[in-house]
Amino acid sequence: MIALKINNIKIFMEKLLTTEVFDNFQVEEVTIETFNTFSIDGHINREFFAGEINETANNNNRSFSLWSELRPICLNLIKGKRTPISFKFVLHADSDTKEAVISGSEGDIDPFMLNLGINIKFANNELILTTGTAYNVFTLDKSAEKAWDNYFPSFLESCGIENQLL
């Protein structure tokens, strides 16, 4: 787990809310504090899609909504003349990203046995991203966690998002 401070919040927010940079990430939860506190639980309600055959409508057996699906809602809650008091986004890497990160590590854990996540927190005019790894099985192998911690800062840089390790 590492913590990264985002140097230019405006550029990061533009990339997060108006581009496809994070669209493949899955959303576990969102909390946005403006004139009210808005909370979004990213878990997909399967009952909503009951009886539909279409795979897209059934969300390909994902547990969480994609950022691309919730991004317009979050943009509407955040946009305006006033800066939010705070917000928090908990996102998970998609399967392709997990496989790419893990294949570059020295370990041999199955990508489906873990989640690679990021917490994005804004408060007191400071934006901090924290990486995290959650395993579904017990393991002493931390190579996937190290690979994720190495990958994510370079991912941000490749997207034009300056950051510094805290």
Which three-class secondary structure string do you get for the chain? CCEEEECCHHHHHHHHHHCCCCCCCEEEEEEEECCCEEEEECECCHHHHCCCCCCCCCHHHCCEEEHHHHHHHHHHHHCCCCCCCEEEEEEECCHHHHHHHHHCCCCCCCHHHEEEEEEEEEECCEEEEEEEEEECCCCCCCHHHHHHHHHHHHHHHHCCCCEEEC
- Residue-wise pLDDT for 17-32, tens only, equals 999 999 999 999 999 9
pLDDT digits (tens, 9 = 90+) for 102-134: 887 877 788 888 999 999 999 999 999 999 999
Question: Residue 152, class by beta-carbon neighbours within 10 Å (0-12 exposed, 13-18 middle, 19+ buried)?
Answer: buried
CA distance 20 to 132: 22
Q: Which of the residue ranges 106-115, 130-139, 144-153 would you say has the lowest mean pLDDT?
A: 106-115
**Average pLDDT for residues 67-95, to the nearest whole number?**
96
Percent of the chain with pLDDT over 90: 75
Residue 97 pLDDT: 92
State residue 108's pLDDT score: 77
Q: What is the pLDDT of residue 12?
A: 97
Segment 35-49 mean pLDDT: 92
Q: Which residue has the higher pLDDT, 81 or 60?
A: 81
Mean of pLDDT over the chain: 91
| pTM of the predicted structure, to 2 decimals | 0.90
Q: In this predicted structure, what is the pLDDT of residue 44?
A: 92
Q: What is the pLDDT of residue 55?
A: 52
How much is the pLDDT for 57?
Answer: 47
